[in-house]
Amino acid sequence: MDVLGIDIGGSGIKGAPVDLETGELTRERLRVPTPRPAVPGAVAAEVGRIVEHFAWTGPVGVAVPGVVHGGVMRDAVNLHESWAGADAAELFGGAAVVNDADAAGLAEMTYGKGRGERGTVLMLTFGTGIGSALFVDGVLVPNTELGHLELHGHDAEHRASDRAREEHDLGWREWAGRVQDYLEHVVMLLSPSLIIIGGGVSKKADKFLPYVQVGVPVIPAALRNEAGIVGAAATAGNRRSTALP
Ligand code: BGC
C-alpha cells in the first residue's frame, strides 16, 4: 500500500508517497520552506499544498517536531509557541500525526539498521533540535524528548544539535566532544544496547563518530533524511490496519 508521508522540520516541510512494503519513496519528494512564523494555519496550508501536489486522496501521515498525543500537540518549540494545544490531526485534514523523531525511529526499526534489534534501542536525530525515539524490544515508548535533557546547565539541544554546530561555528571534532558529553549522559540514564544517529548529520558520520566512544555501539542510520517521511507514512498505514479508532 502507498501512503503519503510528510515531515515538518524547522527549515523545510518534505513529503512523498511511500511504499510500505519496501519503505521506499515511489515519487520524487517535494520540499517547501517552513513558513515564518511557523504558526499552525501557515504550516497546515503548506501541508495542504503537498497533498495537492501529489493529487493525494489516500491515507496521509504527518511527522511533527513536538510532543503529540492522539493528534493534539503539547508543544513544538522549534516551530512556534501557538502549537501548544493545537489539534494537528484536525488541522491536517484527519491525517495520522506522530513526533518526528518517533517517525524516524519507526522507519529505521522497520526498514533500516534497527531491523530485528531487540533490547533498548535509542534513535537520536540531530538537526534543528535533538529528537529521540526509544524502543524496548521493538516497541516504541513515544514522546521521550531526550533532546531537552539538561547538559552543563543548558538545554542539551542548544549545545549539541546540528544547528548549534552551525550557529556556534564548531569544527566537527569540537562538536563531537559535545555529542560525546550528551551521549554519556543518555547512556548513564538508559543503558541502551544500541544508539542509532539520524538526521542530516548521519550522512557525515565519518566526520564525528570516530571521536565518540560511550561503551555502546553508536551507528549512523540507514534511511538518512527520508526517515521522517517514511515513518509518518508507516504510522498512517498502521493506524488503518488496526482496530483502534
Ligand atoms: C522537539 C522534539 C523533536 C526534536 C527534533 C525538539 O526540540 O522538542 O519533539 O523531536 O526537536 O525535531
CA distance 116 to 122: 14
Q: Is the CB of residue 121 less than 8 Å from the CB of residue 108? A: no
- Write the DSSP symbol of residue 42: H
Q: What is the predicted pLDDT for the residue at 1?
A: 87
DSSP code string of 19-35: ETTTTEESS--EEEEPP
What kind and span of H or E run contains 16? strand 12-19
Q: Which residues contact 48 (CB under 8 A, 6 or more apart)?
A: 93
CA distance 169 to 126: 16
pLDDT tens string, the chain, 245 residues long: the values are: 899 999 999 999 999 999 999 999 999 999 999 999 999 999 999 999 999 999 999 999 999 999 999 999 999 999 999 999 999 999 999 999 999 999 999 999 999 999 999 999 999 999 999 999 999 999 999 999 999 999 999 999 999 999 999 999 999 999 999 999 999 999 999 999 999 999 989 999 999 999 999 999 999 999 988 999 999 999 999 864 434 44
DSSP code string of 84-135: TT-BHHHHTTT-EEEEHHHHHHHHHHHHSTTTT--SEEEEEEESSSEEEEEE
Residues within a 6 A CB radius of ligand 1:
65-67, 77-78, 99-101, 125, 127, 129, 131, 145, 147, 157
- Classify burial at 100, counting beta carbons within 10 Å of its beta carbon; exposed 0-12, middle 13-18, buried 19 or more: buried
Residue nearest to atom 11 of ligand 1 (CA): 129
SS3 assignment, position 150: strand
CA distance 183 to 171: 18
Q: Is the CB of residue 79 less than 8 Å from the CB of residue 12? A: no
Ligand 1 atom nearest the C-alpha of 102 is: 10
Choose among 194, 199, 243: nearest CA to 223.
199
**What structural domains does the chain harbor?**
2-99 (3.30.420.40), 113-221 (3.30.420.40)
Q: What is the predicted pLDDT for the residue at 241?
A: 41
Ligand 1 atom nearest the C-alpha of 128 is: 12
Residue nearest to atom 1 of ligand 1 (CA): 66
SS3 assignment, position 4: strand
Q: What is the predicted pLDDT for the residue at 244?
A: 42
Residue with cell 534511511: 223
Summarize pLDDT for 36-54 with one digit per residue, the tens: 999 999 999 999 999 999 9
Angle ∠(226,229,232) on CA atoms, nearest 5: 145
